[in-house]
Each structure stands twice: as C-alpha cells, then as structure tokens.
Structure 1
C-alpha cells in the first residue's frame, strides 16, 4: 500500500519528535544518574542516642563498659545509611524513567495528531494547484490557483503555475486566432480562382482573351496563396527553434536583399556598418527582406527609406525607417501580431511581414521594436546578440 504524502509527513514529524524526545530523556536520565552517585562509604554521621541504646541492648552490653560494641553499632548505622541512600537513588531514577517514558509516549501521540493537522495545512496549496491543473484543458484555461499568504516556496510554486497557465491561455488563444486568420486568408485566393474560372466556364465559347485573363487572375491568386503558405511555414519552423547557427553579418544580408529589390520610386539611404551575429543566414536574410519590403510597400509616393546596421552594446542592430502614414504609438505593439494590417497603410499585404520579423528575431535570442515617426512612417529596430 502506497502512503500518501500527508501520511508520510505525519510519520516523519512523529519519528523526529520521538527521536528528539528519546534523546532528551536519555540525556536527563544520564545527568541525574551521574549526579546521584552513591558513595562507597557514608560520611560520618552522628548516631542518634535512641539507635545507639537500642543497638547496645540488642548486642547485650552497656555503652560505658564495652567500646567494641559501640564500634559495631557505628558500622551497622553507616551500612543502614548507605543502603537507604542507594534505595532512594534507585527509586528516584526509576520514577524519573517511568514518568519520562510515559510523558514521551503521550507527547508522541499528540505530535502525531498535530503533525497530521499541520501536514494537511501545508499541503492545502498543493491540493489547490492539483485542482487547477485538473480543471485546465485546451478549451478552459481560466482556472487559477491565486494563492495568498506569505511568499514562501509553495506561494512561488503557485504563482509559477498561474504564470504558466497565463502563457498557455495566450498561446492557445493566439493559435486559434492564427488558424482562423490563416483559413480566412487562404479562402480569399481560392474564392478568386473559383469565381474567375466559373465566370469563364459559364460562357459557351470563351474567347482567347478571356481565357488569358482568367489564367492571369488564377496565377495571381496562386502567387498570393503560395506567399501566404511560405510565410506560415516560416513561422511554424521558427517555433521549432534554430537548426542552423553560423556567423552572419547583417550588413551583408541587407546588401544581398537590396541587390534584388526594386525601390519603386522610393529613395534609399544606406548606412551599413558590420553587424555580426550568429544564426540561420536564410532566416536573417528573410528578416531583412521583410523589413525592407514593408518600408517600401507602406510608404508614400517618392518617399524615403533609411536602412542602417551596426553594433550597440556588443550586439548587432538593424534599423529600417520610412516615411508614410501617421501611426498611433498605441498601435505599434499590434504591428507584430500575425495578420495585422494598419488601417492607414492599405490591405495589399499579407499582414505577416512584421510578425515573421519578430519571430525570427526571437528565435535568434533578440527582439524587434517599432517606434512611429512624428511626421509619419515607422522605425523598426531589430537587436540580436553577438556571436559566441
């Protein structure tokens, strides 16, 4: 039979108390026994006249004429005193031992009862944590321990458990929202393709121009779906962690991205200093590409884009700033959420660009932050740790 933790704690309290009590009893008995030592001979004690007269009468002599009889009485008296002292010592030690053992037995029983109560109170937070864990599920993560009292080990355990549930709830909520958004985004190009094909096929004899226009629309919708799937796969791979880690210069990554980028009438301002970090070069180039693409896409006609790389505090820094619509500072945190599109920047993108940037930065041990420009536009800064 397996004993519960409460029973084991109670037994442990009881055994510790019994062992401590036994040590106290043994030490007390030993000290008292040492201090009640019986001497080998008694100290000279004056005989009472009554004992002396009675002794002489028993021996058949008088006190004045027979001094040898007086010595015998003296010896008998000393032996009696010694026997009394020994008997008294034995009685005291025996009484002490019996009383101490009885007290120890009763106290042990009381300590067992008290240990049972104390163990129950100590384990009460654990029971609350267990109940919260049982109540938690994928569809209900609202249960919390919310333990009060002093900030001891159990309080820290309960707070850690509540924090874990908060993270799980946020993760599941974000996952459900992400799946819903992904389904909606994938449904859009599929709907476009279906509608385009249905319109052309509904005609008895579609012309070559109509077929080409249908093919062009379908190709555009397929490209949109392909880009969305690729972005979703990038986010999913980032959740699994890095599989490649090698030295990377962000300045080189940015330059590679700019070599294949059409500014589309925007003015580029570059300040590329060496910015060494470690990680997956493909993902880091994707990070730079998303930042540059966002800065060019959500900009004004003939606007500017500033791209800079360098080091700060030993880490690598990539900053991309653009001109564009005015953004409320309260909206900057939401810019890194998947499928978030700012109402003033148009809806021609997937809404995953900055989400991928934040995900790649996080998986490399860094972070991304956005600050709106007072005159319009946004400055996004990515900080990554230096290579180890």
Structure 2
C-alpha cells in the first residue's frame, strides 16, 4: 500500500482557496440581501389590497367582477414584488461586486507581499554587496523556491567575482617581480664602463618607458582589485581641499611645462570633508588631477571647486579643450576606454584612470559624474558622503 503524502502547499492552491472562499462569501451575501428584499415584498403582498372593494356580490355578474378585480390586484402585487426583487438584486450585485474587488485587492496584496519583498531586496543587491541574501521565510512553496534559487545564484556570482578579483590581484603582484628584474637588467647594462652605442641607449630608454607603463597598469589593476574587494579598512576623516592641494603641488612641474593656468584649490570649501581610506582617496584625486593635466591642450586651464550640502561633499574639476561627445565621455568610467588619441599630448595612458576614480568613489558610497562641457573640455564631479570637520581643525 502506498503511503499517503500530504499535498504540497503551492501558491496556486492558496490563491484557489482564498479567492474561492471570497467569492463564496460574496454569493452568500448576495443571496441574503436578495432574500431580505423578497421578504419585504411578501409582507407588502400580505397586507390588505388598496382601494375600495365592491359591494357583496348578489348576482353572478357581480361575483365575476370581484374575481376579475382580485386577479388584477394579485397581478399588480406580483409585478411590484418582481420589480422590487429585481432592483434589490441589482443593488446587491453592485454592492457585492465592489466588496469583492476590495477584498480581492487586499487578499492579493497579502499573498503577493513576499514577491514584492524579494523584488525590493534583489534591487538593493549589486556587485558591491553580493554577500547579502534574501533569506525568505515562509512555507515551502514556489515563492520560497524562487527566493532560494536567487540566493544560490547570488552565491555563485559572489564566488565568481571573488575569484576574478583574486586572480587580478595575484597576477598583478606576481608580474611585478619579472618587471623589476627586467628594469634592473637594463640599468646594469647601461651602467657598464664601455661606451654604449647611441641606438642601444635609445632602445634601453624606450624599454624603460614601456616597463614603467606596464608597472602603472599593474598598479591600477591592484587598486581596482583592492577597491572592489569589499569593506575598506583604515578609515579616517580627510579634507578634499588638502588632498587637492597636495595633488597640485606634486604636479607643479608638469603644470608649468604645459603652461596650464590652474585655479587654486582655495576655491574648495573648507567644510568639504569626507571619511575613507587615505591611500585610496589620495589615489582618486591624483588620478583626476593627472587626467586634467594629461588630457589638456598646451596653455590650457584647470578649474577646481568644492562644496558641501545635503550630507554630500563634492569636488569638481573642469578643463578646457575641444568639444567632446557625451556618449564617449560616459564610456570613460569603463576600464581601457579612451577618447581619440589626438586629445592627449603624449598618447600614453593605461585607460584605467577614471575607472579607478569611479570604483574608489563607489567603494566610499559616492558617485562620479562626467559631463562634456558645451564650450569644450570636460567636467569631472566626485560626490562623497560628507563628514564633520574635526574639532581640532575647526578650532
């Protein structure tokens, strides 16, 4: 004998039971209202007929007239009762129709609430917080099956992202050793006392330049991997004005060489402070300033500004230049995306600068906004959560 198995509680079954019970109750209500209206009509029919009955029949003709009168009264009473019953049924139908719609909406909302919660939780989860799970509670039905499947998918995605970041970080770290060996070999070869042919010296300089470029590329990979790996350590309160001043000071020689007119970082509000990792935030602003210097025309200008408001500290760096296509500008936040080569004076660059800026800003709960200026050039705006000015600085 086969063992009896308890039927599975499915969403379809729950909908069937709920809506079936609802419409059953609606039908019962409709019948009750109809019967109440009918009882009212019966009471009316049982009352004395209106009008003055004829005198007691004395002849057959008089009896026939009375029968005819009674039949007419009975027909009128039945017609009035039928109309009353029809009107009552129509009213009951309208009332119960409205009640059924309201009840159906309420019940459907309660039944579909888990799906809405799953949708809202899924929207909150992105590449930066794949560790979160839906963890849906409730009976083992299709809704919980869906939530568990999404959780498993998120787990696989998290493992894949972690593996990718570890690979990038490990590969970048391991490649630094052969690069250092190659650079040391070049230095040893050039340091020999024998005269070195000019062609060899040019080739060595070219190789050293390329090795430096590869080294910067690997450093960018390491920064991206570190930024995208999760929570940031060593958080401290930093001034955007001080970071921008330091970046400009460190690049004073490049600014002079290119004859760039730079608005001082004093235009940045003293209250523009944020909290985060000093190394990463320094790298972020360094990349923005480097981008402003490198992707600028000879004798151009750079303008810095910073404000604080609505819990956000913002740093804005603008540069002049030719008119740019906004579609191409939007793509600069993706790794290895560059504008046309004639925009740079050197033709070099890893294509990771602004993508690193976007990743660091996102890791700190901020955003990066790139806009092509209508007059020409680029506007880079970094928005970060504002932090209170330290007490010793305010004093």
Once the two structures are superposed, what CA deviation does each residue of 1:256-280 show, in whole Å capped at 9, x if it has no partner?
A: 1111113121111131212111001
Structure ID, larger Rg: 1
Name segments (4+ residues, structure 1) moved above 4 Å.
152-156, 158-172
Once the two structures are superposed, what CA deviation does each residue of 1:140-191 show, in whole Å capped at 9, x if it has no partner?
A: xxxxxxxxxxxx945973895699599779969x98xx97xx99xx9xx99x
1:280 aligns to 2:277 (yes or no): yes
Q: TM-score, normalised by structure 2?
A: 0.49
Instruction: Indicate if the aligned counterparts of 1:299 and 1:325 stay in contact, CA closer than 8 A.
Output: no
Once the two structures are superposed, what CA deviation does each residue of 1:178-220 show, in whole Å capped at 9, x if it has no partner?
A: 97xx99xx9xx99xx89xx9xx9xxxx9844334323322221
1:332 aligns to 2:321 (yes or no): no
Instruction: Indicate if the aligned counterparts of 1:318 and 1:382 stay in contact, CA closer than 8 A.
Output: yes
1:370 aligns to 2:364 (yes or no): no
Give the structure, 1 or 2, with the largest relative contact order (CA under 8 Å, sep 6 or more): 2
1:249 aligns to 2:239 (yes or no): yes
Report how far residue 324 of structure 1 moved: 1.9
Q: How does 1:132-281 map to 2 (within 5 A)?
A: 153=143, 157=147, 207-240=196-229, 241-262=231-252, 263=255, 264-270=258-264, 271-274=267-270, 275-281=272-278
The residue that corresponds to 1:19 in the other structure is none
Once the two structures are superposed, what CA deviation does each residue of 1:2-38 show, in whole Å capped at 9, x if it has no partner?
A: xxxx95x63889xxxxxxxxxxxxxxxxxxxxxxxxx
Provide the C-alpha distance between the structure 2 equivalents of 1:11 and 1:160, rounded to a whole number of angstroms: 21
Provide the C-alpha distance between the structure 2 equivalents of 1:375 and 1:308, rounded to a whole number of angstroms: 18
- SS at 2:7 equivalent: helix
Provide the C-alpha distance between the structure 2 equivalents of 1:330 and 1:256, rounded to a whole number of angstroms: 32
Provide the C-alpha distance between the structure 2 equivalents of 1:325 and 1:297, rounded to a whole number of angstroms: 14
Alignment coverage as a number of residue pairs: 231
RMSD (CA atoms): 4.2
Instruction: Indicate if the aligned counterparts of 1:305 and 1:320 stay in contact, CA closer than 8 A.
Output: yes
Provide the C-alpha distance between the structure 2 equivalents of 1:334 and 1:169, rounded to a whole number of angstroms: 27
Q: 1:309 to 1:12 in 2, by over 3 A?
A: closer
- SS at 1:10 equivalent: coil
1:300 aligns to 2:297 (yes or no): yes
The residue that corresponds to 1:319 in the other structure is 316
Instruction: Indicate if the aligned counterparts of 1:299 and 1:322 stay in contact, CA closer than 8 A.
Output: yes
Once the two structures are superposed, what CA deviation does each residue of 1:327-384 show, in whole Å capped at 9, x if it has no partner?
A: 2112232111111111252442110110110011011111111011012211111111
Instruction: Indicate if the aligned counterparts of 1:320 and 1:381 stay in contact, CA closer than 8 A.
Output: yes
- Structure 1 gap ranges (5+): 1-5, 14-124, 126-151
Once the two structures are superposed, what CA deviation does each residue of 1:119-155 show, in whole Å capped at 9, x if it has no partner?
A: xxxxxx9xxxxxxxxxxxxxxxxxxxxxxxxxx9459
- SS at 1:247 equivalent: strand
The residue that corresponds to 2:386 in the other structure is 386
